[in-house]
């Protein structure tokens, strides 16, 4: 039985409170009373107890030239490049200086092996600003140790020359915001970028310069159907990025009012349609040679992400399934969040608060959390479920009181309930998600989330098999 074959089972598990679990505990539970001083202490604590290896430096650029209606990221739409330069030279550079000072005080720096430029649109920077940012980062980073440097690419804002420039700077991974190749969908989301545009960028030479090329696709966009995703995956299979993600689009019109533009002509694909579209994309990608890497990521068999999955080193976080080398990250820029040692910290979203804090010499901390032993154990389990869809109890026994089975007695009882719905198979050694369980894996993760309401699993809805194809939404 597949997810789209059983509409009533889906109905039982529709719950808006389920998260992606890119972080655990989820951001809503981070402490907003934490401040600059706590961030400094946390960095000190982390580096006193570890060598700071496996670290990534994340830089957020909160500007774009044009608004995409689906976008949830923190950004301002502007055509004023002076504003972008002011942010870079007068604020972000100061945040980097402050980090340099703290690491001097501590007498130790993280050993960065990855860099990630996200946004907003890091492609907004012209060459002189990109170069200046790299120079600034030299105060923090030994570039000889950098193994992966990713830049998120808005394909409408680069040309082959700019991509070659990125390569000359040391960038070796490009992550393209594609979302969907169908013209009707692109019109609804206010983002026209035909497949030819991307094909013309990815010349033989560019492919040889960048060993990893990722495409982001979104599931649940307006006008998207099973048929349109077939067209999109057709283009993807021909253009052949080495990695891609098919993320569910989060619709949050209460925080981003412009998102309602997406429903100006028609309703968004509903809970069932979204699953049918996701499911179709997955089947087609696997058929065209991609290997699954966690819940919503894929990679070609010879890509480093597929290798990391085989070696069980891959790691799931807010950037998708990563090769797993750099699981501590220090983040700069408004809204950026870091994760290092036992800590999470996030900067202010609002640029005035972010800027004011830095100008008065403080780190612009909005919230954060120090994870306790139990949080870390649960985070590890949740991330393993999201990446590998199975848990072996013995892998966690030494972190548990007595054993996994004793420690998680309540959770095991809840798992037995979802087992009855066919979401997983459990024996005395562990449990493994079924095909349906894979699609509902956030719901299974939620069993291990002590911060949320568990009533979701106690609903008593009668389940009757019903063939989804009768609803004429999927294949």
Ligand X SMILES: C[S@@+](CC[C@H](N)C(=O)[O-])C[C@H]1O[C@@H](n2cnc3c(N)ncnc32)[C@H](O)[C@@H]1O
Site string for ligand SF4, 81-120 (x = CB under 6 A): --------------------------------------xx
> In 16-46, which positions are buried (b, 16+ CB within 10 angstroms) versus exposed (e)?
eebbbbbbbbebebbeeebbbebbbebbbbb
- In the complex, the smallest distance separating the C-beta of residue 133 from ligand X, rounded to whole angstroms, is 17
The least distance separating ligand X from the CB of residue 286, rounded to whole angstroms, comes to 21
Query: Which of 64, 141, 276, 309 contacts ligand SF4 by CB under 6 A?
Result: 64
**Which of ligand X, ligand SF4, none binds 440 (CB below 5-8 Å, type-dependent)?**
none
Our measurement of the distance from residue 360's CA atom to the centroid of its chain's CA atoms, rounded to an integer in Å, reads 32
| Residue 306 binding partner per list ligand X, ligand SF4, none, with a CB distance cut-off of 5 to 8 Å that depends on partner kind | none
CB of 154 to ligand SF4, least distance (A): 5
The tokens of 76 are what?
């301002």
**E strand or H helix at 343, and its extent?**
strand 343-347
Token couple for 394: 């013995």
Residues 116-135 as x/- pattern, contact with ligand SF4 by CB under 6 A: ---xxx--------------
3-class secondary structure per residue, 97-116: HHHHHHHHHHCCCCCEEEEE
The residue written with tokens 């980097």 in the block is 96
d(CA 334, CA 214): 24
Question: In angstroms, what is the minimal distance from the CB of 152 to ligand X?
Answer: 4
Among 18, 34, 71, 382, binds ligand SF4 (CB under 6 A): 71
Q: What is the DSSP string of 217-242?
A: EEES-TT--HHHHHHHHHHHHHH--S
Question: Which residue number, 119 or 294, has a Cβ lying nearer to ligand SF4?
Answer: 119
Strand ranges, E, within 273-364 = 291-292, 297-299, 315-317, 320-322, 328-332, 337-340, 343-347
- What is the H or E stretch that residue 387 is in? helix 373-388
Locate tokens 């069932």: which residue? 272
Distance CA 329, CA 352 (A): 24
DSSP states of 135-154: HHHTTT--GGG--EEEEEE-
Nearer to ligand SF4, 75 or 337 (CB): 75
Q: Does 62 bind ligand SF4 (CB under 6 A)?
A: no
Q: Which residues bind ligand X (CB under 6 A)?
A: 64, 70-73, 119, 121, 152, 154, 177, 179, 216, 218, 247, 249-250
Torsion, CA 75, CA 217, CA 29, CA 35, rounded to 10: -30
- Binding to ligand SF4 (CB under 6 A): which residues in 329-348? none
364 binds, among ligand SF4, ligand X, none (CB under 5 to 8 A by kind): none
Find the shortest distance in angstroms from Cβ 274 to ligand SF4.
19
**Partner in contact with 67, chosen from ligand SF4, ligand X, none, beta carbon below 5 to 8 Å by kind:** ligand SF4
* Nearest residue (CB) to ligand SF4, 154 versus 273: 154
Task: Report the Cα 324 to chain-centroid distance in Å.
Answer: 13
249 binds, among ligand SF4, ligand X, none (CB under 5 to 8 A by kind): ligand X
CB of 229 to ligand X, least distance (A): 14
Max Cα distance, the chain (Å): 66
From the list ligand SF4, ligand X, none, pick the one residue 34 interacts with, judged by a Cβ distance below 5 to 8 Å according to partner type: none
Q: Which residues contact 351 (CB under 8 A, 6 or more apart)?
A: 62, 76, 87, 334
Residue 67 or 102 with smaller CB distance to ligand SF4: 67
Q: Is 222 an interacting residue with respect to ligand SF4 (CB under 6 A)?
A: no
Q: Helices 160-169 and 127-137 sit at what angle, rounded to 10 degrees?
A: 20
Residue 448 interface partner, choices ligand SF4, ligand X, none, CB cut-off 5-8 Å depending on type: none
**229 belongs to the binding site for ligand SF4 (CB under 6 A):** no
Query: Least CB distance from residue 156 to ligand SF4, whole Å?
Result: 8
The residues binding ligand SF4 (CB under 6 A) are 64, 67-68, 71, 73, 75, 119-121, 154, 177
């Amino acid at each position: 039985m597949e997810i789209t074959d059983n509409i009533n089972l889906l109905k039982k598990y529709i719950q808006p409170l389920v998260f992606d679990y890119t972080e655990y505990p989820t951001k809503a539970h981070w402490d907003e009373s934490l401040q600059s001083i706590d961030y400094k202490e946390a960095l000190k604590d982390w580096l006193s107890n570890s060598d700071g290896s496996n670290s990534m430096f994340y830089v957020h650029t909160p500007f774009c030239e044009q608004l995409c209606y689906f976008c949830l990221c923190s950004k301002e739409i502007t055509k004023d490049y002076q504003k972008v330069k002011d942010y870079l030279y007068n604020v972000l550079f100061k945040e980097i200086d402050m980090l340099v000072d703290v690491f001097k005080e501590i007498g130790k720096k993280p050993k960065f092996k990855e860099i990630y430029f996200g946004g907003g649109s890091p492609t907004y920077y012209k060459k002189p600003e990109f170069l200046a940012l790299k120079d600034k980062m030299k105060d923090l980073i030994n570039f000889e140790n950098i193994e992966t440097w990713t830049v998120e690419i808005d394909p409408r804002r680069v040309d082959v020359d700019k991509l070659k420039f990125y390569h000359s700077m040391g960038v070796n991974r490009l992550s393209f915001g594609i979302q969907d190749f169908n013209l009707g969908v692109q019109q609804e989301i206010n983002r026209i970028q035909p497949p030819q545009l991307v094909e013309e960028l990815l010349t033989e030479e560019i492919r040889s310069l960048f060993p990893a090329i990722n495409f982001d696709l979104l599931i649940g966009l307006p006008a998207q159907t099973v048929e349109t995703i077939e067209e999109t995956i057709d283009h993807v299979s021909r253009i052949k990025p080495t990695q891609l993600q098919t993320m569910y689009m989060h619709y949050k019109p209460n925080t981003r009012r412009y998102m309602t533009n997406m429903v100006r002509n028609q309703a968004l694909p509903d809970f069932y349609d979204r699953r049918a579209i996701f499911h179709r994309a997955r089947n087609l990608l696997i058929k065209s040679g991609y290997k699954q890497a966690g819940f919503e990521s894929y990679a070609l068999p010879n890509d480093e992400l597929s290798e990391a999955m085989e070696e069980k080193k891959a790691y799931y976080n807010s950037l998708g399934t990563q090769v797993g080398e750099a699981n501590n990250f220090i983040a700069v820029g408004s809204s950026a969040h870091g994760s290092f040692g036992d800590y999470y910290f996030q900067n202010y979203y609002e640029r005035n608060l972010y800027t004011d804090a830095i100008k008065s010499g403080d780190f612009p901390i909005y919230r954060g959390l120090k994870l306790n032993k139990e949080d870390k154990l649960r985070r590890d389990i949740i991330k393993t479920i999201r990446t590998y869809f199975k848990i072996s109890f013995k892998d966690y026994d030494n972190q548990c009181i007595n054993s996994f089975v004793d420690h998680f007695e309540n959770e095991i009882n809840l798992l037995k309930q979802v087992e009855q719905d066919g979401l997983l198979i459990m024996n005395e050694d562990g449990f493994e998600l079924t095909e349906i369980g894979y699609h509902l894996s956030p719901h299974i993760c939620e069993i291990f989330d002590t911060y949320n309401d568990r009533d979701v699993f106690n609903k008593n809805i009668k389940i009757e098999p019903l063939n989804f194809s009768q609803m004429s939404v999927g294949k």
